[in-house]
Amino acid sequence: MGKAKGEAREQAGGGGDRRPVVVTIKGTPEWGEWVRGFAAFKRTDASKLIDLALVKLAEAEGYGPKAPPR
C-alpha cells in the first residue's frame, strides 16, 4: 500500500513550514502570466502579491479585522 503524502515528505527530508492550501485560483494561461509578470515587477512571488492586494483592498473597503500573518 502507498504512503500518505505527509509521511513521504517526512521520510524524504521535507517538512519545515508546511501550511495547508487556503485558496486555489483558476484562470487563463494569459492571466497567470500577467500575475507572475506583475509579481516579478514587484520583486515578489504570486502568493505574496495576492496577499498584499487582499490586505490593501480590505483596508480600502474598511474591513475591520486586521489580516493575521500568512
CB crowding 3-39: b at 16 or more within 10 Å, else e: eeeeeeeeeeeeeeeeeeeeeeeeeeeeeeeebeeeb
What distance in Å separates the CA atoms of residue 18 and residue 69, rounded to the nearest whole number? Answer: 14
Q: Hey, where are the domains in the chain?
A: 27-63
What distance in Å separates the CA atoms of residue 18 and residue 53, rounded to the nearest whole number? Answer: 23
Q: Which pLDDT tens digit goes with each residue over 15-49?
A: 667 999 999 999 999 999 999 999 999 999 999 99
Contact 54, 35 (CB under 8 A): no
Is this model's pTM higher than 0.85 or not? Answer: no
**CA contacts within 13 A on the Cβ side of 14:** 9
Confidence tier at 14 by pLDDT (50, 70, 90): low
